[in-house]
Amino acid sequence: MGITVSYWNNLESVRRWKASLEHQEAQKPGHEKWNSAFKTRIAKVEREYDI
């Protein structure tokens, strides 16, 4: 299992990516193999800083 993080400028960009036929085709093998563990979380980054 792994984690993938992606950053988007706005929710409309996320919607377009999700609706992309190329993206949907790429998702199929992952959904078939790991569907029970698959989760999507959308969060807003309020602040970012380095220590």
Rounded to an integer, what distance in angstroms lies between the CA atom of residue 5 and that of residue 28? Answer: 19
Range of the domain at 29: 9-33
Question: Is 41 part of a structural domain of the chain?
Answer: no
Question: Is 50 part of a structural domain of the chain?
Answer: no
DSSP, residue by residue, the chain: --------SSHHHHHHHHH-HHHHHHHHHHHHHHGGG--------------
Question: Is 21 part of a structural domain of the chain?
Answer: yes
Question: Is 26 part of a structural domain of the chain?
Answer: yes
Question: Is 39 part of a structural domain of the chain?
Answer: no
Q: Is the pLDDT of residue 9 over 80?
A: yes
Total domains in the fold of the chain: 1
Question: Is 43 part of a structural domain of the chain?
Answer: no
Question: Is 3 part of a structural domain of the chain?
Answer: no
Question: Tens digit of pLDDT for each residue in 15-49?
Answer: 998 899 998 898 888 778 877 677 788 888 899 99
